[in-house]
Amino acid sequence: MNSDNPYNKYRKNAVITANQPQLAEMLYTGAVKFIRQAISHVKNDNKQEAHNAIIRAQEIFEYLAETLNEKADIAFNLAHLYDYSYRRLVDANIAKDAEILKEVLGLAESLRDTWHEARQIVAEESEHADNADKLV
């Protein structure tokens, strides 16, 4: 990957400047992208590329699990979901099974979409609070 590429610089800067909720959404989006790539590679019988994409998705779930805030109420459930997704990706990689990948894709998309909605709600509430302060 060429580090002088303007797009790569933009992506790197976006990750560096992202807050925690934005970074989590980026990670879920990345997992979805890699799982979709893996499904395509499995269907095209490109085993090495499927393996590479699955490993990338596994790394994301592993990172998400390692960075959970254990004090948060939802952390326990998320840890189990991440572990399940990781293990299913291992199964999919061994068998090069698109159906298993589709199962994990559904979970990853659901997590990404839920996280996105939660970020929007928090942003709207924050905006309303800021506007209320201006009226006083």
Does the reported pTM lie above 0.85? no
Specify the 3-state DSSP secondary structure of 136: coil
Q: Do 57 and 92 meet the contact criterion of CB atoms below 8 Å apart?
A: no
CB atoms within 10 A of CB 52: 15
CATH number at residue 124: 1.20.120.340
Is the residue at 122 inside a domain?
yes
Q: What is the pLDDT of residues 89-99, one digit of tens each?
A: 999 999 999 99
For the chain, the domain total comes to 1
Is the residue at 13 inside a domain?
yes
Q: pLDDT exceeding 70 applies to what percent of the chain?
A: 82
Is the residue at 85 inside a domain?
yes
Is the residue at 124 inside a domain?
yes
Return the structure tokens found at 69: 């805030």
Is the residue at 117 inside a domain?
yes
Domain with 100 in it: 6-135
- Secondary structure in 3-state letters for 98-121: HHHHHHHHHHHHHHHHHHHHHHHH
pLDDT band of residue 6 (cuts 50, 70, 90) is confident
Is the residue at 23 inside a domain?
yes
Mean pLDDT of the chain, nearest integer: 88
Q: What is the pLDDT of residues 34-81, one digit of tens each?
A: 999 999 999 999 999 999 999 999 999 999 999 999 998 999 999 999
Is the residue at 1 inside a domain?
no
